[in-house]
Each structure stands twice: as structure tokens, then as C-alpha cells.
Structure 1
Amino acid sequence: MWAHLKKSLGNLAPCSIDDLADLVRTRLKRMQYRPDLLDGFIAETKLITKPP
């Protein structure tokens, strides 16, 4: 997940730490609404093999 987040921020040039924090919050919020993406991150860990 962090690699995906860093890649999405790679070409941006925030002017301050507050701008960077806002961008990170926005990108994380976008990820929150993409369950397929989050499921993919979890599947890659191979820690959970069966749904509860």
C-alpha cells in the first residue's frame, strides 16, 4: 500500500509539509473507496488465505 501511495505522489511538488499531508490524506481516502485495490494488497501478503 505504501509503495502505491508513494508512486502516486512521485511527480507532485508540494510547497509545504501541510500540503504534503493534505495530498497523502486525499490519496489514502481515495484508496478507501477502492475495495478491489485493498483486497489486492491483502492478497499479496499471503497472510489471509480464507475469508472469515
Structure 2
Amino acid sequence: MAVALVNGELVEIDITPDVISNRTFVPLRFLNEIFGANVEYDAETHMVSIDGDSAN
């Protein structure tokens, strides 16, 4: 498993982030769990919606 540093603490993530063309890609589930955002995927339209105003 990969780890990320979040607020000074190591947190395990199930998929290793990747760097492509100087951009870092991380799993959306990781963002959801760490920042409390609501992440939804619409398989029909292939759209991802991220709402950062969800209640924690």
C-alpha cells in the first residue's frame, strides 16, 4: 500500500498516486476520505462531481 502525508500524519491509500506530465493523480476516494468531500460518479455520462460543502 502507498502512504500520503496528511497534516503531519501518514495515511495509507489503496492505490499508488501517479505522476504524468508533471501532474499528480490520486484516487478520488482518497480525497473524499481525507477532506470530507462528497464524490459521485455518473457511469452513464462519465462525469465526476465533487461537493466540498458536505457535512463532516
Question: Normalized against structure 1, the TM-score is what?
Answer: 0.27
In terms of fraction of residues, the more strand-rich structure is: 2
Larger radius of gyration: 1
Higher relative contact order (CA 8 A, sep 6+): 1
TM score, norm. by length of structure 2 = 0.26
